[in-house]
Amino acid sequence: MNTPNASRAPRTINEYLEQLRAALRGADPALVQDALYDAEEHLRAELADQPGRSEAEMLQKVVGSYGAPEEVAELYRDQEITIQRALRPPPPPKRRSLAGRFFGVAADPRTYGALFYMLLSLATGIFYFTWAVTGLSLSAGLSVLIIGLPFIVLFFGSVRALSLLEGRIVEAMLGMRMPRRSVYPEQGSTLMRRIGRMFTDVHTWTTLCYLWLMLPLGITYFTLAVTLLGVSLAFIAAPLALLFDRTAWGWLLADHLTVDWGFGPHVPSWGDALALCMIGIVLLFATLHLARALGRMHGHIAKHMLVPRAAS
């Protein structure tokens, strides 16, 4: 392969990964993380397989079998297009008219994913927040004891696992491509240095921030979803309430019910009920729009806070 970058053959695993990262520049950070993980796993296994060989010799052979960084990058890009196609539901037909665009949101599967995510985020938010705060305070408290350090390392490991889990949820419900593998554990340095890296790594802290942030966000999402859905469904059911009011069961409900649209109070009629129903329908679709927009926004938040930047 006479690719422009092939002039400098990689001599160490880190050099190979650096070249792969460079070749993948501009690709989705989640894809970069997966590709680097796979390459590192393969190269380290190759190195461990034949202990007699030097790293440079091994890499020379690997460029032939695993592929040169540029070839691997190309392969992952191709693969990504296939994944994207499989991941994305067929795009809803483009609607031209204003009404079509407004009501078309109900046909978009992403809307319901986002709505479900909003409801779920209260539970996950409470869990993440509790985990992060408990872990951090216990880490701080135990740090004076001998078990402090192992505890901190365990806690940070669990934060990585949670970050991966949240990534899966976000990808499934919000359709944002997230990594399927965590960052490959650093090799070839002392244990203390690796622990030190954990603390200085910005990504660790943005992940913790995200876990913490999920409580207020989760409460907000849940409240918005439940309130708006509840109000719009109640409005839509207004004619039904009036029907009961007119029948023999009416005495069960409030007798002296009056409405006031600003023109003075009067006993509710069918016109009032229908108007309320219309408002309810519009509100319901507006809620769906809001859910889809919030879902998209949250996907970007998750991507920025949970996936390390490719350039770092």
Partner 1 sequence: MDDVASQLKKFQKELAAGTVSLVLLAVLAQSRQPLYGYQIAKRLEELGDGVLAGKQSALYPVLRNLEGAGLLSSEVEPSVSGPPRRYYRITKPGRDVLRAWVAAWTATRDTVDQVLQGEL
* Smallest distance, partner 1 to C-beta of residue 64, A: 7
The nearer residue to partner 1, 57 or 78, going by C-beta atoms, is 78
* Smallest distance, partner 1 to C-beta of residue 182, A: 9
* Smallest distance, partner 1 to C-beta of residue 83, A: 7
The nearer residue to partner 1, 181 or 194, going by C-beta atoms, is 181
* Smallest distance, partner 1 to C-beta of residue 101, A: 33
175 closest CA partner among 309, 97, 292, 6? 292
Give the binding site for partner 1 (CB under 8 A).
34, 38-42, 44-49, 64-67, 71-72, 75-76, 78-79, 82-83, 86, 180-181, 185, 187
* Smallest distance, partner 1 to C-beta of residue 28, A: 13
Terminal C-alpha separation, the chain: 29
The nearer residue to partner 1, 13 or 228, going by C-beta atoms, is 13
The nearer residue to partner 1, 50 or 137, going by C-beta atoms, is 50
The nearer residue to partner 1, 23 or 283, going by C-beta atoms, is 23
The nearer residue to partner 1, 25 or 168, going by C-beta atoms, is 168
* Smallest distance, partner 1 to C-beta of residue 75, A: 6
The nearer residue to partner 1, 14 or 220, going by C-beta atoms, is 14
Q: What is the DSSP track for the chain?
A: ---GGGGS---SHHHHHHHHHHHTTTS-HHHHHHHHHHHHHHHHHHHHH-TTS-HHHHHHHHHHHT--HHHHHHHHHHHHHHHHHHHSPPPPPP--SHHHHHHGGGG-HHHHHHHHHHHHHHHHHHHHHHHHHHHHHHHHHHTTSTTHHHHHHHHHHHHHHHHHHHHHHHHHHH-----SS-PPPP-SS-HHHHHHHHHH-HHHHHHHHHHHHHHHHHHHHHHHHHHHHHHHHHHHTHHHHHHHHHSGGGGGS-TT--B-SSS--B---HHHHHHHHHHHHHHHHHHHHHHHHHHHHHHHHHHHHHS--TT-
| Tokens encoding 191 | 């244990």
Handedness of CA 274, 278, 284, 287 (dihedral sign): negative
* Smallest distance, partner 1 to C-beta of residue 257, A: 54
* Smallest distance, partner 1 to C-beta of residue 161, A: 11
The nearer residue to partner 1, 48 or 248, going by C-beta atoms, is 48
